[in-house]
Each structure stands twice: as C-alpha cells, then as structure tokens.
Amino acid sequence: MNLLMSQDDFARALQAAGQRAGRPNDANKRLVQRWESGAITSPRPTYACALEALTGLPIEVLGFAPAAHARVTDDGRGGHDTTSPTEVVTAVTNTPAGQVRPRGDYSGVWLSRYEYFSSGRNATFTGQHYVTLLQHGDRLTVRSLPGSADSSLTLDLTVDGNVLTGTWVEQTDPKSYYRGARYHGSIQMLAEPTGRRMAGKWVGFGKNMDINTGPWELIFQDASTNKATLERYNRPPDPDV
C-alpha cells in the first residue's frame, strides 16, 4: 500500500493529497504503521479520501473494510478507525442500464477511449482502457486497470457543473512501438446530462515538440468499485465496444 515509499513519505503524500482535495488530514508515520499492521481496519472518511486520491484505488481494494461497515464511536476523538455508516466514501450501488445516474456522482468503472495520429506510421489509432474513477467533492481521480491495456493511464480532473478539466499521463509499455515513452497533457470534457458519458478533447506535445490533439471520451460501465467488479473489467476492452 505504501507505493514503495517510506512510511514517513507516504504520510506526507497523504497530507498533500488531502490538501489538494480540500480535506486536510494529519496523517503520520504511526497511523500508517497501524494501517499496515491491521490495528485499523477502516480509516475515517478524511483519510479514506486521501488514500483513494493518492493510490487511485477504492478503499476496499486497498484491504480495508468498506466505510459503511466501520465501527462507530461516541466521542469522535482519536478514532482514525471510526466513521459513521452515513459517511460512505465510494458509491457501490449498481445502476441498471439506461437509468440516469445521480447528478454529480461519477464514481465507478468507465471505458476510456481516445484517438491519436501517429506521424511515424502515418495513421490514426484508438487507445482504450477500462478505468476506475473515484470522486471526492469536485476532484476526480482516474486510473486504468492494469490488465485492460499494455500502457497505464492516469487522469486528474476537476468538475465544475458539467465541465471537467484536468491533466492526463500515459506510460507506454517498454515493449510497445513507443518503447516506454511517457506522454502527458491537458484535457477538457463535457458530461452528458445522463451522467453516462463524457466527451471532449486532449492536447499534448508530440516528439517533434508540435502540439497534438484529438477526441477523448469516457463511457460509464458500472457504479460499483468493489474487488469483484474491478476483476471483471481487468481485461482489454472489446475492439468493437
């Protein structure tokens, strides 16, 4: 869980993630030790928010008990392992096909699809990943599922109404055509009123320092982010999806 960081560095990264999300926390080395030893099985919502933002993974997948099942105490002090059942961090209710999703709730599994032109191959290609999207307030963290593509994809977005703005990073496979190159840039999308699709454009630099752009869309798949759901989508998307 510590992303190859020391416990001190991990605690500092959690504090920074909390600041970025507008939910400051006082994570420290001792707290990280208690998580890793199993002394705390369910972090409080403030820490759960920072953990999910930092790792890009749902709290349950990180090995913690779901927030809704956490133990409740009366004093509210010193309880890094306490939360109210009403303070659920991640939406876990499936949305039937065709149903309008709750406004402003984008957490779940999405299909990411973008187009790019390869000057070296003189052709346009489509990149597809299944991604986990976690929302905390107006911040959205998007991380690709490792089995869905050879490359890894990260998006960090801010939502304002139906407008989503942020950055993207893609780390390509060392064995791929791009030989492990790391690409990054900006992105802006509009969310449809149904909450089931976001579409817009990406922008980034090419190898010759020219600015490239192309369409990018996120298509909703499932509102659940539990381990079983992520395992089901941890595979390459069908080419005709």
Q: Which tokens belong to 138?
A: 């107006």
User: What pLDDT sits at residue 78?
Assistant: 36
- Amino acid of residue 110: W
Q: Is 149 a residue whose pLDDT tops 70?
A: yes
pLDDT value at residue 82:
35
The domain spans of the chain are 7-69, 108-233
The CATH number assigned to the domain with range 108-233 reads: 2.40.160.90
pTM for this model (two decimals): 0.73
Scanning the structure block, which residue is given the tokens 């409080």? 44
Per-residue pLDDT tens digits for 65-101: 765 433 333 233 333 333 332 233 333 334 444 444 4
Share of the chain above pLDDT 90, in %: 54
d(CA 163, CA 104): 11
Mean pLDDT lowest for which of 67-81, 161-175, 182-196? 67-81
- Please tell me the predicted confidence (pLDDT) of residue 151: 96
HSE-CB for 19 with a 13 A CA cutoff: 8
- DSSP letter for 65, please: P
Q: Which of 88, 73, 82, 84 is nearest to 40 (CA)?
A: 82
Pairing of strands 123-136, 139-144: antiparallel
Does residue 172 register a pLDDT over 70? Answer: yes
> What tokens does 34 get?
């208690």
Report residue 70 as tokens. Answer: 């956490």
